[in-house]
Structure 1
Amino acid sequence: MTDYGLVSIITPNYNCARFISETIKSVQAQTYPNWEMIIVDDCSTDGSDKVVEPYMEEDQRIRFLRNEYNSGAAVSRNYALREAKGRWIAFLDSDDLWMPEKLEKQLRFMVENGYHFSYHNSFDIDENGAEKGRLVTGPKKVGPISIYNYDWIGCLAAIYDQEAVGLIQIEDIKKNNDYAMWMKVCKKVPCYLLDDTLAKYRIRQGSISRHSKTALIKWHYKLFNEAEHQNPVLAGFNTIRNLFFGVIKKIVYEKKY
């Protein structure tokens, strides 16, 4: 197997003791072995550290870090990114899952095509791991303009080349912080779709997709206004733009099966 270099997997965790074991196993099952998994715990109270500890003892590729105080996913991801040693940066939340060939296929796709940022399809599962019958894909190419249309890039599907992009740090916003990251990366390199389904996204109670439309509008506005430092008029325009392309996504890029 070709060695494309070290992959640093960024995994923020908060009270996911119920799911994180399965998430770690999906990483250990990768056919591409050259990775490190950086788990940053955000002051969990459910014994997540006790769940992770045996995996750390048996697998030196797994690192477990802790925030000093509960800070949110943006701060946790920033911490992990500063600690990452790999050329490639991948993301996997502590309740989501990868298919075994995810890293191998995605890295080959990027290297063979000279891409520095990519994502792939995923399908949804419920809290118990049952498939929900929805596959999510996106545009073949997402650039510095089209990334403002919508958050096409699933966090569990993204990999970028840190040699080309550099260290990314995002503002401390509580929601949409992965979207804020893709905006920064897309300003440097475009993102390309690998049309293959290589991950499972877990839909849980309390996820952002289950909140009211009013809450979603507020968080999208804060994303553009606070993370992108846009004036209120432009932030409002891009919020409306997001709502429009959210409808387009459901029609064009979400497939029932």
Structure 2
Amino acid sequence: MEYIVSIIMPTFNSKLTIVDTLRSVFDQSITDWELIITDDCSIDGTYELLSKISINEPRIKLFANGVNSGAAVSRNNSLSKAKGKFIAFLDSDDLWLPNKLEEQVTFMGDNIDFSFTAYELISDEGKKLNINVDTHQVSPLGYQDMLKKKATLGCSTVILRRAVFPDLTMPLLRTGQDYALWLKILKLDVKAVPYNKVLTQYRIMPGSISRNKFKKSLRQWEIYRRVEGLGVIYSCWCFSFYAWRAVFRK
């Protein structure tokens, strides 16, 4: 069976948030989706909980890594099993608004192959923080734009047209593998087209790497130098744009 959307989700010790995240998928206004979850050796009962839920929900396809390997390996495993016309990404602690998939797929139509939406930040308890991200984006973004991080492109906001991209394998980085994939795709002369409406809620978890600016900076530099193979001078030039955005964005 070919679904309209294949949803790619990695999990690791997500028991406290996964039920709310799944509910946001079940509440979608379109129902022709498959949710492909790969668990990364959770020790908090996440896999067992998902196993029980998936018994009565055939659209959930549940897998597990043999050893703890990171989100890139988990996502790549799920991507290899996707059958949908579109690929959507959703992290196990984020939430979608009920019309997210329908609005974004309709927006993409037959001509847009890579889209992303704006999103809002919520606390670990699910309270709105009154901070929206990427709402100002109006122009499509190319490879050079993303090197300079002209948009955040939250992973849980992105949808891709599967047939256009024969290789969606994420680079094997412990963090930042989604950003590295966007760069990989944009080098194909594709544009990331914004739909600047908030359709996703991004949960801020205490102690997460995504909120540690020093670790994020090291990750950014690693992607410039090791993954993209940029020279030192051009890496510094791109990093200056990234740093400016990091300072003036919450």
Q: Answer whether TM exceeds 0.5 for this pair.
A: yes
Q: Which residue of 2 aligns with 1:135?
A: 132
Which secondary structure state, in structure 2, belongs to the residue aligned with residue 204 of structure 1?
Answer: coil
Q: Which residue of 2 aligns with 1:244?
A: 244
Question: In the comparison of the two structures, how many residue pairs are matched?
Answer: 245
1:67 aligns with 2:65: yes
1:131-210 equivalences in 2 (<5 Å): 131-137=128-134, 138-140=136-138, 141-150=140-149, 152-188=152-188, 189-210=190-211
Bigger drift between 162-171 and 100-109 goes to: 162-171
Contact 1:120 1:193 in 2 (8 A): yes
Return the alpha-carbon distance in structure 2 between the equivalents of residues 68 and 24 of structure 1.
24
Q: Which residue of 2 aligns with 1:44?
A: 42
Which secondary structure state, in structure 1, belongs to the residue aligned with residue 80 of structure 2?
Answer: helix
Task: Give the partner amino acid of 2:20.
Answer: E
Q: State the Cα deviation string for residues 45-95 of structure 1 (Å, max 9, x = none).
A: 000012212321111000111111111111111111111111211000000
Return the alpha-carbon distance in structure 2 between the equivalents of residues 214 and 127 of structure 1.
21
| Identical aligned residues as a percent | 33
Q: Which residue of 2 aligns with 1:120?
A: 117
How far residue 139 of structure 1 moved from its aligned partner, in angstroms, is 2.3
Q: Which residue of 2 aligns with 1:87?
A: 85
How far residue 124 of structure 1 moved from its aligned partner, in angstroms, is 0.8
Q: Which residue of 2 aligns with 1:230?
A: 230
Contact 2:133 2:152 in 1 (8 A): no
Contact 2:29 2:99 in 1 (8 A): yes
Q: State the Cα deviation string for residues 194-213 of structure 1 (Å, max 9, x = none).
A: 122111100001223431x4
TM-score by length of 1: 0.89
How far residue 247 of structure 1 moved from its aligned partner, in angstroms, is 4.2
Query: RMSD in angstroms over aligned alpha carbons?
Result: 1.8
Unaligned runs of 5+ in 2: none
Contact 1:173 1:223 in 2 (8 A): no
Contact 1:32 1:103 in 2 (8 A): yes
Return the alpha-carbon distance in structure 1 between the equivalents of residues 167 and 34 of structure 2.
17
Q: Which residue of 2 aligns with 1:53?
A: 51
